[in-house]
Structure 1
Amino acid sequence: MDVSALERFLPDERATGMLGADLALALRAGDVLALEGDLGAGKTTLARGLIRALAEDPELEVPSPTFTLVQAYEARIPIHHFDLYRLSSAAELDELGFDDAISQGAALVEWPDRAAGRLPASAVFVELTHERDGRTATVTGTGHVFERITRSLAARDFLVRSGHGDAQRAYFTGDASARSYEIVRDGQPLVLMNSPKLVLGPPVRDGKPYAEIAHTAQSVSAFVAIDRALKAGGVAVPEIFAADLERGFLLIEHLGSGSFLDDGRPVADRYAAAAKLLAAMHGRKWPSRMEAAPGVTHTVPPFDRAAMMIEADLLVDWYIPFLTGKPANDEIRSGYHDAWSQVFDLMERAEKTLMLRDFHSPNLIWRGERRGHDRIGVLDFQDALIGPSAYDLASLAMDARVTVPPEIERSTYDAYVAARRSAGPFDEAGFSEAYAATAAQRNSKILGIFVRLKERDGKPDYLRHLPRIRDYLGRALAHPALAGLKDFYRRNGLLGDTEE
């Protein structure tokens, strides 16, 4: 496998520490970063910047582990700092707990040549050499770790081009996709959105990859275009201050940190306010073709039958094998598709609008000091489709990340319906059916996604959400319009404790 390299000139200690912080933003558990360079080349300065960034503590004491050989730090990712200069043999790495350190978190290794081949093949090397009044950092490696580091350094280059080259960066949040977010502090806090182009993956159906069938946004242009349209429509979405559409970086407004939750529980009035915002959005026309930049447009795809089915199939592909210990057979798949066919007919007949797709508490900011719909900041809408208006209300009222009691689900639903009714003619019966259908489709999909995140991506924490999602699914299937689908789920034991 070819080894790649990149260089950075570091004029002073501040730049060296900043490089360490930029490297920290790319690290994940299992990563190893090997530091090379002569005495006085700046390894300790770089290590200090990296560890302080991971620990989110700019004043953290970071002593050199020259005599202790290893220092451990509790941080966003646990990290062990090894100095192998005094190591007499590579066998002593076992006594230092080297393999355990890598399994639990990341490792920073000075004098890596003393490890005698014990570093993983994915290790990335950073060599510091004196140059003029500063030093040059040469970063070499291969694979995903090096790619993440390259991406982090490209984000710094984007900030330089945007006039924020000296800004401090701090990890903010990630999600189930490849996107991540950072807080950028350079005066007022801003948000750096790191959204690499979507890797489509192999064909899964009709010669097309999953993301293409499900209409997942393939570049950051979708976010920019939809952001501009929503802002023009009076929705509180982030201002975009700088954009690199080709490389997938945005510098956007920080909408605040107010939550829709109180001590982890949903606040009914805030959910109702969000429902009223949805009602206002659904009462207007939205274009399907939106401009991201001069000459760059985004066409919002439809939530068509193929997208509905491939999402719902995640339950068959991942959740059923998890539940039963064996893959779903052809009979199950055929019966599942037949049961969903009538539901998709209902969804296709439903009122259509701009469907943001993930309109729930993690993507909503409560700004109680403001008035009206401006109290609700909206994030994460790049995957929007043209689909049933009921979908986003189901996403909100059956929030995948927090348990919404039935009474708050009902008050959220009622707030939406009342707002739509007061604005003019509204098909309440048709909306009720579409709400149940979209809630069933969405929660079936999420059961599969959460199992996939555990089985494929090594993220077992998502399994704790399964009982909640099963409960939501049971609520949705209680609607008489979904009787046939409910019967299939019950006969095949897919509802667990919510069967009745």
Structure 2
Amino acid sequence: MDLTIPLGTEAFLNNAGWVGATIEPLPGDASFRRYFRIRHTKGTAMLMHAPPPNEDPEPFIRSARWLEGNGMRAPIILAEQAEDGFVLLEDFGEVRMREYLDAWPQDEEEIYRGAIDALIRLRRLPPGPFTGYTLAEYQREAKLFIDWFVPARGLYVDGRSWTNAWEDVLSPLLGRQRPGVTVLRDYHAENVMLVGGLDKQGLLDFQDALVGHAAYDLVSLLQDARRDVSPELEAKMLDYYLAQSGVQSAGEGDDFRADYARLGAQRNAKIVGIFVRLWKRDGKPRYLDYIPRVWALMERDLAHPALAPVAAWFDANIPADVRASLGGRFAV
């Protein structure tokens, strides 16, 4: 863990009224952002440092204020100096959904229902002031698989037919994501804090929010790259979402399930590419350990009839026997 304190941190905290605070570095994530817990006689806060040119804190600030202003539990912005990458945030504490469930697995269904309830509240809000999730963006993300995973494995594939297969798969859902919901895009057990009770979901890592399909964040939660969610729990929670959101009673359950599989496969292909990129480009090989889980989830999604064009692409370019031998595993 990098223990260095960014230049200008003390001056920023002093200007924000936190003179003399202690600064504790915290483990980082997959980006260039760094986090620090700030302790002071007035309490604690979280400092995010997202320095330009690699990061831009403005989207985080904009998203946080919109979410908090619409009744969602995003951290309150206490101070900001965006041009230098500094944002001082409300401290949600240390009880992440992931670690809570590691300690109290018997509460799993209750915790997941609470996380889904937060998505349902988000669904009922008007779409936020964010860019739409377009077919071009879905395609850009899916292409990360062939840009990074494929060459890392020494494979040769047909990139044009990959794009065509995804267009066939994703085009049917585009009309169903209008007018759309705010999609946080990285909603999973390590980005949900349990604040003030088990049903109070503190949201993190939403700076890339877009307006898109309600199934995206749900599949992000239930097909978690970093935590095993059993197929039985996934099915039960998907049923819960469909019932509580009104999707099932509106007669739209089959379309939603198909779109859930579409976005699951797209997201998992993207994540495989991103995790290889984190290794190759950013020197972070630890993310390779997650790929077998993500790969298995992608294979499950490909079994849905809605994914037939992409499943056919895999059979032609990376056949089942080759995929089984790969299994998403890497030796570093």
Question: If the length of structure 1 is used for normalisation, what is the TM-score?
Answer: 0.60
Equivalent pair of 2:247/2:253 in contact (CA under 8 Å): no
Q: Secondary structure at the match of 1:174?
A: coil
Instruction: Map 1:111-150; keep pairs closer than 5 Å.
Output: none
Which amino acid in the other structure matches residue 173 of structure 2? M
Aligned match of 1:363 in 179, 188, 191?
Answer: 191
After TM superposition, give the deviation of residue 245 of structure 1 in Å.
2.2
Equivalent pair of 1:197/1:219 in contact (CA under 8 Å): yes
Q: Return the alpha-carbon distance in structure 2 between the equivalents of residues 190 and 196 of structure 1.
A: 19
After TM superposition, give the deviation of residue 386 of structure 1 in Å.
0.9
After TM superposition, give the deviation of residue 423 of structure 1 in Å.
10
Q: Secondary structure at the match of 2:39?
A: strand
Asked if residue 303 in structure 1 is aligned to residue 130 in structure 2, the reply is no
Which amino acid in the other structure matches residue 232 of structure 1? G
Asked if residue 479 in structure 1 is aligned to residue 318 in structure 2, the reply is no
Equivalences, count: 316
Which amino acid in the other structure matches residue 14 of structure 2? V
Q: Return the alpha-carbon distance in structure 1 between the equivalents of residues 248 and 259 of structure 2.
A: 19
Q: Secondary structure at the match of 1:193?
A: strand
Equivalent pair of 1:282/1:353 in contact (CA under 8 Å): yes
Instruction: Map 1:282-297; keep pairs closer than 5 Å.
Output: 282-288=123-129
Q: Return the alpha-carbon distance in structure 2 between the equivalents of residues 285 and 246 of structure 1.
A: 30
Q: Secondary structure at the match of 2:26?
A: strand
Cα deviations across residues 105-139 of structure 1 (Å, max 9, x unaligned)? xxxxxxxxxxxxxxxxxxxxxxxxxxxxxxxxxxx
Partner of 1:334: 160
Partner of 1:259: 96
Asked if residue 221 in structure 1 is aligned to residue 58 in structure 2, the reply is yes
Asked if residue 249 in structure 1 is aligned to residue 83 in structure 2, the reply is no
Q: Secondary structure at the match of 1:241?
A: strand
Partner of 2:17: 163
Q: Secondary structure at the match of 1:263?
A: helix
Equivalent pair of 2:127/2:211 in contact (CA under 8 Å): no
Asked if residue 315 in structure 1 is aligned to residue 142 in structure 2, the reply is no
Equivalent pair of 2:186/2:206 in contact (CA under 8 Å): yes
Partner of 1:181: 35
Partner of 1:238: 75
After TM superposition, give the deviation of residue 425 of structure 1 in Å.
3.6
Equivalent pair of 2:33/2:51 in contact (CA under 8 Å): yes
Q: Return the alpha-carbon distance in structure 1 between the equivalents of residues 302 and 35 of structure 2.
A: 36
Bigger fraction of residues in strand: 1
Q: Secondary structure at the match of 1:418?
A: helix
Equivalent pair of 2:128/2:181 in contact (CA under 8 Å): no
Q: Return the alpha-carbon distance in structure 2 between the equivalents of residues 422 and 333 of structure 1.
A: 36
Which amino acid in the other structure matches residue 445 of structure 1? K
Equivalent pair of 2:215/2:256 in contact (CA under 8 Å): yes
Q: Return the alpha-carbon distance in structure 1 between the equivalents of residues 192 and 15 of structure 2.
A: 30
Q: Return the alpha-carbon distance in structure 2 between the equivalents of residues 422 and 446 of structure 1.
A: 27
Instruction: Map 1:173-212; keep pairs closer than 5 Å.
Output: 173-187=27-41, 188-199=43-54
- Which protein has the larger Cα radius of gyration, Structure 1 or Structure 2? 1
Asked if residue 345 in structure 1 is aligned to residue 175 in structure 2, the reply is no
Which amino acid in the other structure matches residue 194 of structure 2? W
Which amino acid in the other structure matches residue 398 of structure 1? Q
After TM superposition, give the deviation of residue 389 of structure 1 in Å.
1.1
Cα deviations across residues 263-295 of structure 1 (Å, max 9, x unaligned)? 28692321121112111211221332xxxxxxx
Equivalent pair of 1:275/1:413 in contact (CA under 8 Å): no
Q: Return the alpha-carbon distance in structure 2 between the equivalents of residues 371 and 360 of structure 1.
A: 15
Q: Return the alpha-carbon distance in structure 2 between the equivalents of residues 321 and 177 of structure 1.
A: 22
Q: Percent identity?
A: 34
Q: Return the alpha-carbon distance in structure 2 between the equivalents of residues 394 and 263 of structure 1.
A: 21
Cα deviations across residues 299-325 of structure 1 (Å, max 9, x unaligned)? x111112211111111101111222x2
Equivalent pair of 1:397/1:409 in contact (CA under 8 Å): yes
After TM superposition, give the deviation of residue 333 of structure 1 in Å.
0.4
Which amino acid in the other structure matches residue 453 of structure 1? L
Q: Which runs of 5+ in 2 are unaligned?
A: 327-332
Q: Return the alpha-carbon distance in structure 1 between the equivalents of residues 53 and 170 of structure 2.
A: 27
Partner of 1:105: none
Q: Return the alpha-carbon distance in structure 1 between the equivalents of residues 222 and 325 of structure 2.
A: 18
Cα deviations across residues 323-371 of structure 1 (Å, max 9, x unaligned)? 2x25x45xx101211211111202312222111000111110123x537
Which amino acid in the other structure matches residue 176 of structure 2? A
Aligned match of 1:277 in 114, 118, 126?
Answer: 118
Cα deviations across residues 143-181 of structure 1 (Å, max 9, x unaligned)? xxxxxx6xx121221111111131111111311111111
Bigger relative contact order, structure 1 or 2, given CA contacts below 8 A and separation 6+? Answer: 2
Q: Return the alpha-carbon distance in structure 1 between the equivalents of residues 265 and 248 of structure 2.
A: 28
**Alpha carbons of 1:344 and 1:422: their partners in 2 closer, same or farther (altered >3 Å)?**
closer
Bigger fraction of residues in helix: 2
Question: If the length of structure 2 is used for normalisation, what is the TM-score?
Answer: 0.88
Q: Return the alpha-carbon distance in structure 1 between the equivalents of residues 308 and 220 of structure 2.
A: 21
Cα deviations across residues 196-233 of structure 1 (Å, max 9, x unaligned)? 2344xxxxxxxxxxxxxxxxxx6212112211111122
Partner of 2:280: 455
Partner of 1:71: none
Equivalent pair of 1:260/1:267 in contact (CA under 8 Å): no
Partner of 2:3: 25
